[in-house]
A = this chain, B = another copy of it.
């Protein structure tokens, strides 16, 4: 089977997923330039060249990591929205879910550094998704302002602050479950406390 992988098998997808997580961990810790494909391969007990069986190259790898990160963020926001409630409750639930995703089994989520190493098309796509996600979160904040559950504020800047706090997590979280608990407890609590009317 070629890595073009149209009719992918289960095992193949699993390994590919593991590859993405290992890569995300490396990129977060060492940065794009700092991680060689060899570094990633070693984590999987493979040789650097073997990676090309699963993915087209390093560019593609970081692109897929970002896509995965975007998927997770989007999914969490959708789930929080689905669970319903006022704007405040949705935002809070989203933070719980997203922080948990960062610190939990979902594995490391790639931090958005090194955007420019992407090809122009990939870069555009990722930036667009990122923007969309921000706008969606801001919409939740606005909804909260409208329904009276969130204090009147600059949703763009407040969103920037909240997203920044969350996106920065991989910089200091390195897998300690105790720390994960602290984060899941403290982050939503603190970040939402400033939004109470």
Measured CB to CB, the residues of A under 8 A from B are 29-35, 111-117, 153-154, 156-158, 160-169, 171-172, 182-183, 185-187, 190-195
CB of A160, distance to nearest CB on chain B (Å) = 6
Given contacts A160-B165, A164-B164, 10 further A-B contacts (CB under 8 A): A31-B33, A31-B115, A32-B33, A32-B34, A113-B114, A161-B187, A163-B168, A164-B168, A193-B193, A193-B195
Contacts of A169 in B (CB 8 A): 160, 164
A156:B168 contact, CB within 8 angstroms: no
This protein's copies in its complex:
2
**A–B Cβ pairs within 8 angstroms, 28 of them:** A30-B116, A31-B31, A31-B32, A31-B114, A31-B116, A31-B117, A32-B32, A32-B114, A33-B117, A34-B115, A113-B113, A153-B190, A154-B185, A157-B185, A157-B186, A157-B187, A160-B165, A160-B168, A161-B191, A163-B168, A164-B166, A164-B169, A167-B171, A168-B168, A190-B194, A190-B195, A193-B195, A194-B194
B116:A29 contact, CB within 8 angstroms: yes
Contacts of A116 in B (CB 8 A): 29-31, 34-35
A114:B160 contact, CB within 8 angstroms: no
B160:A162 contact, CB within 8 angstroms: no
B114:A186 contact, CB within 8 angstroms: no
Closest to A154 in B: B186
Counting chain B CB atoms within 10 Å of each CB, the highest count among A111, A112, A113 belongs to A113
